[in-house]
Amino acid sequence: MSGGVRRGLFLSAAPFLGGFLLWGMLGLPGFGRYPGPYGDVLNRVAIRERHVTNVTTSVNFDYRGLDTMGEEFILFVSLAGLSLLLRTQRGEAEEGAPDCASGRAVFPRSDAVRWLGLGLTGVTNLLGLYIVLHGQLTPGGGFQGGAILGTAAMLAYLAAGYRAFRQVSPKFLVELTEAAGAGGYVMVGLMALLLGGAFLENILPLGKTGSLLSSGTIALINALVGLEVSAGFVLLFTEFLQETRKRKE
Amino acid sequence: MIAALHVIALVLVACGGTAVVLTREPLNQALVLSVYGVLLTILFIVLQAPDVALSELAVGSAALPLILLVTLAMVRKQSQ
């Protein structure tokens, strides 16, 4: 399609799109005016009912725990699909370094990247663990902390290269962790069923509000999501790194 | 005061999004995208959504640009 036709198409469609958007936005509730009762009710009862201080986490992993389970499996299934698509096919031998495309000069890492990466990896890991474990107490939780932990693994790659990255994240262990995180979520739900409750009902003792071991299954599911997301990030990164290997015809 | 903060954060996000689209060079775009992630994080903090802000900070301004940067470093050919 030539540039002129494209521009004509855009100019004739833009007023309609813009008009629809404006029409839709004019029907929105006023800025900062929350119309539904659900959030207000939860703000009043969640701390008393679930012994959490971060109500958002109680919604994610308890009140709407089923929705979050679905979301977690979106991540799980897309990663499974990625591993399947990028797998080494039978009879396909691979050669060459895993993290270097053919025809590209290998630039040595500068000392600045090496030391900064080394220094940041430990701190980032610690921050990630902190965010995961305090999911029911302060903002953040398994998803946010898991993403930070995944970033820490990438920093290890930046600092020390592919071999060291694989040493700190053996693929079998990473895959096992990811599967355990996803499967564990469902197991927690099934345990509640076995004990005569509803699926994903909060069956564990709730503990003292504000302590690390409070909120019952919320803290447990939160930690499992942390495992799933961090291992998922590492798996995604590993698959991408391996993809540069040349296929032998 | 709060309304002013809202307007400033929203305008920053609008400028940031436009900047990401207008940056054509992938390497620069990954960095601009990271800055855009920080701007979105600021907006979410101003709107009192710290959980979403943390997600955006971890994924949008760190993990995603990092994956893009590493990918670019791997595929950039010597002849350029």
**Is the pLDDT score of A44 beyond 80?**
yes
Q: Is the pLDDT of residue A39 over 90?
A: no
Q: How confident is the model at residue A32 (pLDDT cuts 50, 70, 90)?
A: confident
Residue written as token pair 């370094």: A97
Best to test chain A binding among B72, B74, B76, B78 (most A CBs inside 10 Å): B74
Q: Hey, are the CB atoms on B70 and A101 less than 8 Å from each other?
A: no
Query: How far apart are the C-alpha atoms of A183 and A23, rounded to whole Å?
Result: 44
Q: What is the mean pLDDT of residues A24-33?
A: 86
Phi, psi of A68, deg, nearest 5:
-65, -35
Averaged confidence pLDDT in chain B: 88
Whether residue A52 contacts residue A136, with contact meaning beta carbons closer than 8 Å, is answered with yes
pLDDT at residue B79 greater than cutoff 50: no
| Statement: residue B73 has pLDDT above 80 | no
Pairwise CA distance, residues A139 & A23, whole Å: 35
Percent of chain B surpassing pLDDT 90: 65
Which of A113, A154, A230, A243 is the best substitution to test chain B (most B C-beta atoms within 10 A)?
A: A154
* Domain regions of chain A by residue span: 53-247
Amino acid A67: pLDDT: 94
Higher pLDDT, A198 or A95: A198
The model's confidence at residue A100, banded by pLDDT at 50, 70 and 90, is: low
Q: Which of residues 47-76 of A touch B (CB under 8 A)?
A: 54, 56-57
Could you report the per-residue pLDDT of A50-93, keeping only the tens digit for each? 899 999 999 999 999 999 999 999 999 999 998 888 877 655 65
| A144 near B CB under 8 A | yes
The distance of B42 to chain A (nearest Cα, Å) reads 15
Of all residues in chain A, the percent with pLDDT exceeding 90 is: 45
pLDDT at position B74 over 80? no
Respond yes or no on whether ipTM tops 0.90.
no
pLDDT tens, residue by residue, A206-243 = 888 888 888 889 999 999 999 999 999 999 888 888 77
The shortest CB-CB distance from B63 to any of A99, A100, A150 is to A150
Q: Give the percent of chain B with pLDDT over 70.
A: 94
SS3 annotation, B60-75: HHHHHHHHHHHHHHHH
Residue A135 DSSP label: T
Structure tokens at A227: 């495992």
Distance CA(B46)–CA(B12), nearest Å, equals 12
Q: Please return the burial class of A157, using the count of CB atoms within 10 Å of its CB with bins 0-12, 13-18 and 19+.
A: buried
Distances (CA, A) of A54 to A70, A130, A210: 21, 15, 10
The Cα angle at residue A68 between residues A63 and A73, in degrees rounded to 5: 150
Q: Which residues on chain B are in Cβ contact (under 8 Å) with A240?
A: 67, 70-71
Tell me the one-letter amino acid at A126. Answer: L
Cβ-defined contact of A151 to B53 (cutoff 8 Å):
no
d(CA B7, CA B12): 9
